[in-house]
Structure 1
Amino acid sequence: MKKKRHSIKDIAAKLNTSVTTVSFVLNGKAKEMKISEELTNKVLAYAKKINYKPNQLAQGLRTGKSNIIVFMVEDISNYFFAKIARIIEDIAYKKGYKVIFCSNENDDERSRDLIRLFKERQIDGYIIIPSPGIQKDIEELMNENIPVILFDRYFPNFDSHYVIIDNRDAAYNATLHLIKNKFRNIGFITINTGQIQMLDRLKGYNEAIQKYELVENILEIPYTAVSMSHARDIIRDYIMHNEIDAVFFATNYLTQSGLEAIKENFPHLLNELGIITFDDHELFKIYSPSISAISQPRYAIAQNLMEIMLKLLKESKLSDEYNNVVLKSHLYSRESTKSRKSGFYS
């Protein structure tokens, strides 16, 4: 049988006192409210005896403050997002906050449902990777004086707090790395989406290709087709019908699909193609050959997000000055992009 969760009402009924009195005692306001020491001790002793635990969400409804932050991302199981979430959880916990993690699957209706749910529960603040059509929903939260920070991407021409990396610069340098290592037919595999971070990665690739007067070779996979098996088949066909000597994957999950496609269908290319990925993963270091990767500064991202959030949570009224943090990434050069013996550039 499921154990009953004790409430403040249960304590008040047992001790024949008011719910308000019990609430004051449990919130450390007994002296301030001139509650006798005898009654205070009775309440505390009984609460300990029954192992009373406050319902934090219900407490938030009463006080308007829950000490809970939402971290909403595209997919919380994604390696990059999960690592950031773990760092945020640690920082938040030390400051007396708990974090609720959730995935919006880049779906507007799901994002709105989650936001509605959390608003009803008086969540204190939101760190959100926004799906494409929720700018108005974000704006409504901000108009209600609720702290919101966008992460990984933002809405152009919309004032908000955000923490991102310089995606254009990272993709430009990664493409340049391939070019300088004598690759000339560089394919770029990305998602067909209007997300600002993905557009910036494409822009960085294009700028490097154009600078060296090479030919662009871009595969845009529909967002609805990014499941492992479907993406793998699309990448297989792309490699089969395009004469490329290197490939730049715009996300680590595309890299995973791509490596599987290559290993299953063109195993000899694992040591011939130049391969580079956006978003590093621990497995890329031990893969054979090890995979060159752009590594986003996870700790710096999480630290900046929480510094801004904790500051906003202290403000009684949010100002119109916004924190926009743009961080640099790091390129790890590994075996998959080693300089070839011959090529267009020497």
Structure 2
Amino acid sequence: MKNQKVTIKDVARHAGVGIGSVSRVINNLPGVSKDKRMAVERSVAELGYEPDSLARSLRTQRTQTIAFFVNDISNVAFSTIAKGIHEELEQNGFNLLLYNTGNDKVKEKVLEAFRIRKFDGMIISFPDEDEQTIKQIMKSNIPFILLDREYQQFQADAVYSDYYNGIRQAVEYLISLGHTDIGFVTSDKDIRPSRESLRGYHDAMKLKGLKVKPDWIKRGTFTVEYGRQAFEELLREGEVTALIAGSNQLLVGCVEGVREHNIHVPKQLSLIGFEDSDFTRLMSPAITVVKRPLIQIGKQIAYMLLKRLNVGDSNNEVFNLVVSTELVKRDSCAELVKPPRKKE
């Protein structure tokens, strides 16, 4: 059979079972004894049988594909989460299709994807929280999971990172080192990560009886360029002794400013990033970060969606998961050294 395509009949004959049994094993359906299943799997391996995925999708109306609508795949967080999603899907015979929405019109991309119907389920992390787009998606009856997006009028399966406690712990750590003038650079979009991060920042400061000056908070795009701009503004204002960057891109921009102005971290400025990466680990000094388990987040999202796709899962209860963060302390933060009082 080396020069011929192995067929399902060949597998059935080799395994000593009926074609129906082979089909059920290939499509991972019940109704096959353990011995027969093992015989079929052994024959598939020995003969090198490759199921016709197109024919199978026509029969089952499944594409074995999951779509991931992501704001910016160049963002290290999204690309790492996508890796975790891919690993989990691949183990279950599914493919991952990436839609990089960027700043384009999301609704048009989603509707076009619906029309073509290239996927069985969706993982959604749009640039904003436009409820009209989600309403359209819910009408399609295609299973989906939200990633760090929240819609007040709709209940849906979602995986959230605990931005609130992540930023709150970062602020509390800086306060424990004597810092009271703490800057925070984050997104200007009205999305859950920004809302929760700001809430964590304000609550931590309020709990310690510290006032927050509006100028200490800088809000803009999640880009290196805005990180640099925000750093320059804080430097001109000259008050903050510690700074938290709300994303990896914003952190890179802040570090560019630190280097340009020869500011010593942590003697002159304590610095914390949000998201761990090779950049934060290999910097000198290594940067303290709020860390998310990105690979695990991706795998959990994929697991939840696959469970929804499972024919036997009739549970309609909405499931939300909040994933904890961890403050990884490195060398970019230090106790605030106050200048000695001048003698009168």
What residue number does 2:220 align with? 222
Q: Which of the numbers 63, 75, 80 marks the counterpart of 1:78? A: 75
Q: Distance in 2 between the 1:301 and 1:160 partners?
A: 17
**Aligned-partner residue type, residue 286 of structure 1:** L
Determine whether 1:241 maps to 2:219: no
What residue number does 1:45 align with? none
Determine whether 1:100 maps to 2:117: no
Report if aligned partners of 2:223, 2:250 keep a CA contact under 8 Å in 1.
Answer: no
Q: Distance in 2 between the 1:199 and 1:133 partners?
A: 12
Q: Match of 1:127, SS?
A: strand
Q: How does 1:158-173 map to 2 (within 5 A)?
A: 158-173=154-169
Report if aligned partners of 1:61, 1:122 keep a CA contact under 8 Å in 2.
Answer: no
Q: Distance in 1 between the 2:240 and 2:331 partners?
A: 18
Instruction: Decide which moves more: 64-73 or 207-216.
Output: 207-216
Deviation at 1:53, TM superposition (A): 9.4
CA deviations 1:291-318 (Å, max 9, x no partner) are 1100012233123212211111113786
What residue number does 1:190 align with? 186
**Aligned-partner residue type, residue 246 of structure 1:** A
Deviation at 1:142, TM superposition (A): 3.0
Q: Match of 1:267, SS?
A: coil
**Aligned-partner residue type, residue 292 of structure 2:** Q
**Aligned-partner residue type, residue 65 of structure 1:** R
**Aligned-partner residue type, residue 101 of structure 1:** L
Q: Match of 1:288, SS?
A: coil
What residue number does 1:315 align with? 311
Q: Match of 2:332, SS?
A: helix
**Aligned-partner residue type, residue 255 of structure 2:** L
CA deviations 1:108-153 (Å, max 9, x no partner) are x235414522551341000111332543333333333311000122
Percent of residue pairs bearing the same amino acid type:
25
**Aligned-partner residue type, residue 263 of structure 2:** P
Determine whether 1:66 maps to 2:66: no
What residue number does 1:209 align with? 205
Q: Which of the numbers 328, 332, 338 marks the counterpart of 2:328? A: 332
Q: Distance in 1 between the 2:152 and 2:188 partners?
A: 18
Q: 1:53 to 1:205 in 2, by over 3 A?
A: same
**Aligned-partner residue type, residue 232 of structure 1:** R
Q: Distance in 2 between the 1:162 and 1:90 partners?
A: 19
Q: TM-score, normalised by structure 1?
A: 0.77
What residue number does 1:13 align with? none
Q: Match of 1:190, SS?
A: strand
**Aligned-partner residue type, residue 339 of structure 1:** E
Determine whether 1:250 maps to 2:246: yes
Q: Distance in 2 between the 1:126 and 1:243 partners?
A: 45
Any unmatched runs of 5+ in structure 2? 1-6, 13-17, 21-46, 340-344
Any unmatched runs of 5+ in structure 1? 1-22, 33-47
Q: Distance in 2 between the 1:306 and 1:229 partners?
A: 33
Structure 1 segments of 4+ aligned residues over 4 angstroms from their partners: 23-28, 52-56, 58-63, 316-319
What residue number does 1:281 align with? 277
Report if aligned partners of 2:66, 2:123 keep a CA contact under 8 Å in 1.
Answer: yes
Instruction: Decide which moves more: 267-276 or 88-97.
Output: 267-276
What residue number does 2:39 align with? none
Deviation at 1:282, TM superposition (A): 2.0
Q: Distance in 1 between the 2:142 and 2:11 partners?
A: 24
CA deviations 1:212-246 (Å, max 9, x no partner) are 222314333333xx543354134212222231100
**Aligned-partner residue type, residue 97 of structure 1:** F
**Aligned-partner residue type, residue 105 of structure 1:** G
Q: 1:230 to 1:26 in 2, by over 3 A?
A: farther
Q: Distance in 2 between the 1:180 and 1:26 partners?
A: 70
